Structure 1
């Protein structure tokens, strides 16, 4: 009897998306049908980067950011090569090569290399878009545990921290520092942070609330370089505001897919590693790409956990169902009719921190008096920190922006993603945030999404709670809700406090 050889699968990269793929493949690894190797340039196991700001301010520990159990993976038979950098992929020999050590052979290979921070073209910085930047001491990107630890050292010394970039991640980092009693300065190019999401009035309100929360905001800044002394960063040089002094500079100016390895072995790259709808980057369906490094069927990476986790779940099922191509050439890659993974993902974005809550989705460009066929509704109460703009077509919400109205925001997210009709009297939505109101009429159903990162529904979380899960972490172990950005933790905590119905 001929014993069938194990299929050799190599995953390059070990972030949250790769961790999800590993979990999907692990039963077959334990069963002895797959030989799985995970290679990561970082020395750490997969961890939650969303919580790095919390690590930087000292409110959590590095070990609590982990997303996998190393002992469990190794016991199942997975090989973890941490702190190793892949030099090249030899597709003709199906080898992964390193700077040192013997090459590794593969039957199928997955690029999960993620994205690197975009370094702005400032004098004094290495801004090569295709290389890992060698940043001066005091300049960091808050993308790794080491970055967070360096920032923590600056904060512990009472240093003033500058954050360059007005996106959600930069704002949340600044708010976390301010909440811990530090003095962050948020510096951005446009008239208001989140310039692509907010209109002028909401932007003004956002700046006011950031300042009230302890964040100094410098708008319409034109940064040109950095100032250093003999050892480290001392200030940001601008055309508009002179030198803004600080002990550290956090760059939060976007990310770029890591595609160099794929490009060097002849795979197509553009905004990411180009794949077909089945996530395959080659014609044999032997090499795949997922997550922030993948441009799937022409769609650029979106930088969110939810689509990456969906891709990882689908690819695990695919690999367990479809054998690798044989050595003589490609085989039929889809003999059982597996449909491609869905590329649909919500464009709803949320900002939360230090009492600031902003939610936006769709297109809000229409004005009150535009003759575009859109109905535009605006409500503002700056004294209470509340703002709402809704744009609809034929009664269906096509874009919205809500600040300081959490229950109204939740209702609008449901309406936007369901494509349901808004009430004829739009002002009734504002009453949802009246403390005297009970549950909104459009309360989420069991099939409505609760966790935007994992895709877990209200029904799945309710089932986990009813099954005896007593903490957010335990619910996360059951259905992964609450293990991503943390935006749904408050809802899960509220569900845990509700009496379980018999």
Structure 2
């Protein structure tokens, strides 16, 4: 009896999306039909980058960020080659090449190389968009466990930390440091942080709230370089504010897809590795790309866990059920009987921490008196830290910004994502946050999203609870809810307290 050879699947990269793909392929590895190898330049197994700020301030430990069970992977036969850098991919021989190791053969290859931090073109920094920058001591991007540990060392010495960038990650890092008693400085080039989602009045309130939370905010800054002494970073040089002194600089200025390996072996790249709607980067469907490094069907990488995990789940099922092309089979292997993975992802943004509650979605650029056909409603109570702007077309919400109004925010998120009509009298929404009333908030349906990191719905979490899950961790194992930023943990805990139907 001739034993069928195992299919060799190699995954380059081992972040959260690659971990999800490995999990999906475990049945094939355990059954002996797949020889699954994971190669990563990092020495750590897949971990949750969302929680790096918590590691930096010392509120969690590195081992608590892990997203895979190494013992379980090894028991299933998964080969882990950690701390190994791939030099090149030889597509003609189907080899992954290393500087100091024998070539690794593959039948199918998956790029899950993720994204690297965008390094701004500042004097004193190594600006190369296609390579990992060698940053001076004291300058980091909070993208790896090593970055977080280095920042923790600065914070232990009570050093002043500068955060360059006014996006959600920079704000959350600054808030985490402020919450632990440090004195971060958030520096950005626009009139207000989160400039793409806040308007002028909302931005002013956000700045005030950040300062009240212990974050110094420097707006309209034009950084030009860094200042160093003989050993490390000492300050950020700006055109507008002179030298802003600090013991460390955290760069939070965006990310760029890692496409160099794919480009060097002849694959198409743009904002990411170019794939078709079925995630294939070549015409034979031997090579795939998923997650932050993939430009799927012309759509730029989303930078979110939910679509990456959806891609990983789809690709695992496809690989388990569709064999790789044979050695001399040039024909296309188009999975025409399998719908492509869904690319939809909500653009709702949520910021919570240190007494700040901000939720936004869609486009709020229309003004009160613009002749755009939109209805614009604004409510402001700066003394109470409350602000609300809603933009609608034909009664349907197209954009909103809510600050200090958590129950109203929850209602607007549901309305925005469902595409349902707003009440004719918009002011009735404000009653939801009136402490003197008990206006009910619309109950989420089973298809409404609960976890914004994983995309898990209220129905999926309810099913996990009904199936016997008794902890947030068990729910996370069942449907991934609560395994990202942790913002939905409180809701999951409440659902766990509810009686399970008999």
Alignment of 1:67-106 (within 5 A): 67-106=67-106
Tell me what 1:384 maps to: 384
- Stretch deviating more after TM superposition (20-29 or 331-340): 331-340
Deviation by residue 1:304-327 (Cα, 9 ceiling, x = unmatched): 111101110111111111110111
Tell me what 1:413 maps to: 413
| Contact 1:285 1:330 survives alignment (8 Å) | no
| Contact 1:305 1:454 survives alignment (8 Å) | yes
Cα distance in 2 between the residues matched to 1:178 and 1:471: 30
**Cα deviation, residue 330, structure 1:** 3.2
| 1:237 aligned counterpart, secondary structure | strand
- Stretch deviating more after TM superposition (9-18 or 380-389): 380-389
**Cα deviation, residue 186, structure 1:** 0.3
Alpha-carbon spacing, 1:437–1:80, altered in 2? closer, same or farther (3 Å): farther
Alignment of 1:9-20 (within 5 A): 9-20=9-20
Deviation by residue 1:415-454 (Cα, 9 ceiling, x = unmatched): 1111111111111111112235446352101221111222
**Cα deviation, residue 499, structure 1:** 4.1
| Contact 2:166 2:194 survives alignment (8 Å) | yes
**2:32 equivalent to 1:32:** yes
Cα distance in 1 between the residues matched to 2:132 and 2:377: 46
Tell me what 1:268 maps to: 268
Cα distance in 2 between the residues matched to 1:329 and 1:336: 18
**Cα deviation, residue 274, structure 1:** 0.3
**Cα deviation, residue 500, structure 1:** 4.0
| 1:454 aligned counterpart, secondary structure | coil
TM-score (norm 2): 0.98
Tell me what 1:485 maps to: 485
Cα distance in 2 between the residues matched to 1:115 and 1:336: 30
**Cα deviation, residue 85, structure 1:** 0.2
- Stretch deviating more after TM superposition (447-456 or 318-327): 447-456
| Contact 2:431 2:439 survives alignment (8 Å) | no
- Stretch deviating more after TM superposition (446-455 or 224-233): 446-455
| 2:175 aligned counterpart, secondary structure | helix
**Cα deviation, residue 334, structure 1:** 3.5
Cα distance in 2 between the residues matched to 1:322 and 1:436: 60
**Cα deviation, residue 15, structure 1:** 0.2
Could you tell me which runs of 5 or more consecutive residues in structure 2 were left unpaired when the two chains were aligned.
none
| 2:35 aligned counterpart, secondary structure | strand
Tell me what 1:446 maps to: 446
**Cα deviation, residue 347, structure 1:** 1.1
**Cα deviation, residue 333, structure 1:** 1.9
Tell me what 1:462 maps to: 462
Cα distance in 2 between the residues matched to 1:382 and 1:106: 60
TM-score (norm 1): 0.98
Deviation by residue 1:81-113 (Cα, 9 ceiling, x = unmatched): 000000000000000000111000000000000
Cα distance in 1 between the residues matched to 2:463 and 2:110: 34
